[in-house]
Structures are given as structure tokens and as C-alpha cells.
Homo-oligomer: A and B are copies of this chain.
Amino acid sequence: MATRTDAPTRREQILKEAARLFAERGFHGVGVDEIGAAVGISGPGLYRHFAGKDAMLAELLVGISGQLLTGARRRVAEAEGDSVDRDAGAVLDSLIEGHIDFALDDRPLITLHDRELDRLRDSDRKLVRQLQRQYVELWVGIVREVYPGLAEPTARSAVHSVFGLLNSTPHLGRPGSLPGRGAMAQLLHRMARGAFEAAGTD
């Protein structure tokens, strides 16, 4: 994985600021002038980089869903490589870890991800939903390996619930009195495993 070292392009600046603003005030609550101002250009200058406001949101949401899915697939594949009969529990831990990293490091994106999906054009929304569904099903498969007693609908609900738990970080106030990032990650990880454990033992 080649980590980027070059400067971010203007497009990327715009996307980042747009994500932050959309998360803060909602898609309809942010004007294009504001987005422009956030990157030092003003208003219609954005149209040199994007077809429109909708296009920014679409690119953000498709990007997020894709990243989540790609990361999860990579983690599963890595575990497959390790041994013939892998430890499903370890894979689940890895998935949880990946999702937590995302939730903690890209809060605005996580917020957008389950908040503004309906503002997309039909085709984009279908694509995002498909990526999301694949991500969920990947989790469901692993969870049911770890807890074979879980029926599929139950496992799916459990996975959604754990996503809710892990994605809850945006609701925390400004990084004041709460645990540091490392402690928070550990806490969330333990709680997620505990929740699955409780779901898996009827």
C-alpha cells in the first residue's frame, strides 16, 4: 500500500471540505459558495472540477463505500493466506479494527455514509447500496462462522447494530473529556465483540 506523500489536488481539497460541511449541516444546508470559500476559491469556481453539487456528494459516498468494502476484502484475504483453516474470530477482529479506524479517522465520511444516501441520483444510489450490501454480507458470513448458531436474518441485524455502535463516535462532543483515540478504539472493539457474543448465545 503506497501511502501518499504528494500534495493533495484541488479536487481532493474540495471533497474533503465538502465532506466536513455536509456532515456538519447536511447536504441541503450547505451552499456551493461555502464549499468554495472553504478551499479559498469562490462559488462557481467549483464547476471547473465537478459537474455540480450532487456530483461531489456522489463521489464522496461511492468512495466511502468502496473503501470500506475494499479494505474489508483485503483483511479477509490476508487471513485466508495465513493458514488453511483460518481463525474466523481473528478475521472478525480484523474487520472490527478496520471499521473502527475508519469511524475514528474519517468521522465526517461515516456520518454522510448513513445520512445523505437518499440525496443521490438513482444510479449512484444503487451503486452505493450495492457496495454497502456486499460489505454487510461479508461481515455476516464471518460472524456466522464465529457463531454458527446464528440464523442469517439475526446475524444481519446484529451486524447492522454493531455498525451503529461503531459509528456512534460522531455523536460524542468535542474531543474533551472522553478517552483518547487508543483507549476509545479498544473500548469500541471490546463492546462490539461483547455484543456479537451476546447475540450469538441465544
- A179 contacts the other chain (Cβ, under 8 Å)? yes
The segment from A22-30, A39-47, A84-92 found at the interface with B is A22-30
- A187 contacts the other chain (Cβ, under 8 Å)? yes
Q: Are B164 and A178 within 8 A (Cβ)?
A: no
Which of B24, B118, B167, B198 meets A197, CB within 8 Å?
B198
Q: Considering the chains assembled together, what is the distance between the CA atoms of A172 and B167 in angstroms?
A: 15
Tell me the number of copies of this protein: 2
Which of B28, B162, B195 meets A28, CB within 8 Å?
B28
CB interface residues, A 113-146, toward B, < 8 Å: 114-116, 118-119
In the complex, what residues of B have CB within 8 A of residue A171's CB?
114, 160, 163-164
How many residues in A have their beta carbons less than 8 Å from beta carbons of B?
44
CB interface residues, A 3-58, toward B, < 8 Å: 24-29
- A154 contacts the other chain (Cβ, under 8 Å)? yes
- A199 contacts the other chain (Cβ, under 8 Å)? yes
Which of B26, B161, B178, B184 meets A27, CB within 8 Å?
B26
In the complex, what residues of B have CB within 8 A of residue A160's CB?
168, 171-172
**Lowest 9 CB-CB distances: which A-B pairs, in order?**
A194-B198, A164-B168, A28-B28, A165-B165, A191-B195, A194-B194, A195-B195, A190-B198, A164-B164
